[in-house]
Amino acid sequence: MAHDSPTLDLLERLAAAPDRMTVDALCRQMGLPEPLVRGRLAQLVARGWVEVDADGVTYTIGVGALRPMSAFLSADRTARLAGPILGRLSDQLDESVRLVRLDGTEIVCLAARESAHDTGSPVVGRRFPAISAASGRAILARRDHTEVEAIIAAGVAAHTADSVVDRAELYAALADCRERGVAYERGELVPGVGCIAAAVRVDGLLVTDAISCGVPLARLTHDHADDVAAGVRRAADDLAAALLA
């Protein structure tokens, strides 16, 4: 794949990297010669898709990369309709809320409303393993068993000491979601943070999206968890109704 589309591969690697990358690192990861990588980087820098530091040594994704994401979100009806619903939910709960979509084995955040006391980094566009995220589980609980089995069989990584990786426990979590209508996750992706999510279910359509709310465990009391669960269920139902209108 890298040899067929080195430009796209470069963009994807820079977008996924937690820090700036050198040409040497990119060459090693992609298995491509340095002149080719430098040539593609120069083209991307000229168009604003990639940024290079003042010394010309390290590279990162550029502001130009926002153009296709902005165009996608503007064109996506679900993301547009979710905006005011997420706003109301965030105000009601005083917590940060998200709209996410399943993409292969991952979920990607399409829209978010941050609470005033949330100090985390922006999450729109960020990806997480679907089977470990409450929002991913909310979606996968409504998907075909063979799809879920393939994701679990590929291996489930432990992100924190509280991550669930056992097959039986993961299936139990999905069954619990189907029974309750919401999925729960406590510190499995981010230490000290829990998440509650509900799938957006539209009759006759494949479930692809969910609305979630992340809460520091210190605030996630039993009563607050009940409020959050009721809120995300109501918001997911509201979005489903809006999509049918």
> Are residues 43 and 7 in contact, defined by beta-carbon separation less than 8 angstroms?
yes
What pLDDT, on the 0 to 100 scale, is given for residue 121?
55
Q: What is the pLDDT of residues 141-182, one digit of tens each?
A: 999 999 999 999 888 889 899 999 999 999 999 999 999 999
Per-residue b or e along 76-115, where b marks 16 or more CB atoms closer than 10 Å to that residue's CB? bebbebbeebbebbbeebebbbbbbbbeebbbbbbbbbeb
Exposed (0-12), middle (13-18) or buried (19+): which is 27, by Cβ within 10 Å?
Answer: middle
What pLDDT, on the 0 to 100 scale, is given for residue 6?
80
List the chain domain ranges. 6-66, 76-244
Q: What is the pLDDT of residues 81-125, one digit of tens each?
A: 999 999 999 999 999 999 999 999 999 999 999 887 775 555 788
CATH 3.10.180.10 fits 76-244, yes or no: no
The secondary structure element, H or E, covering residue 61 is: strand 58-61
Which has the higher per-residue pLDDT, 71 or 128?
128
Coil, helix or strand at residue 145: helix
What pLDDT, on the 0 to 100 scale, is given for residue 1?
39
CATH 1.10.10.10 fits 6-66, yes or no: yes
> Are residues 41 and 62 in contact, defined by beta-carbon separation less than 8 angstroms?
no
Min mean pLDDT across 72-76, 194-198, 233-237 is at 72-76
Coil, helix or strand at residue 159: coil
The secondary structure element, H or E, covering residue 91 is: helix 77-93
Distance CA 163, CA 19 (A): 25
What pLDDT, on the 0 to 100 scale, is given for residue 195?
95
Average pLDDT of 178-187?
Answer: 95
What pLDDT, on the 0 to 100 scale, is given for residue 3?
46
Q: What is the pLDDT of residues 26-58, one digit of tens each?
A: 999 998 999 999 999 999 999 889 999 988 899
